């Protein structure tokens, strides 16, 4: 499923235990940091500044569920189907024959 622009991200799926608590806290801190654009420019010098939705994806702070399009924070299960990112990516590769 293709990503829809400007969909809000969610933590509703609960913690993905493949990630640590510190990783989840850091991701949320970065998502809500008013200096996100400056951090983006510092870590991605070759890319031009972009909109918030693009920056948080390039920085791998969120992921889009391939099944239902829910925008989820990295380190959390999908808020729509409650599956892990790893499981959904594996299922998509199997389904697509990759």
| pLDDT value of position 98 | 65
User: Are the C-beta atoms of residues 52 and 61 closer than 8 Å to each other?
Assistant: no
- Please compute, for residue 88, the number of CA atoms within 13 A of its CA located in the half-sphere on the CB side: 21
Distance (Å, whole) CA 69 – CA 80: 8
Helix ranges (H only) for the chain are 21-31, 36-43, 52-58, 85-96
**Is the dihedral angle over the CA atoms 22, 28, 34, 40 positive or is it negative?**
positive
> What average pLDDT values come out for the chain (98 residues) when binned by 10 residues?
68 97 97 92 78 91 94 97 95 80
């Amino acid at each position: 499923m293709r990503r829809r622009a400007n969909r809000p991200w969610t933590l509703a799926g609960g913690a993905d235990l493949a990630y640590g608590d510190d990783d989840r806290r850091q991701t949320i801190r970065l998502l809500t940091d008013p200096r996100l654009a400056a951090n983006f420019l510092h870590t991605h010098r070759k890319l031009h500044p972009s909109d918030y939705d693009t920056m948080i994806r390039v920085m791998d702070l969120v992921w889009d569920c391939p099944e239902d399009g829910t925008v989820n924070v990295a380190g959390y299960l999908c808020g729509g189907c409650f599956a892990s990112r790893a499981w959904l990516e594996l299922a998509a590769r199997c389904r697509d024959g990759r």
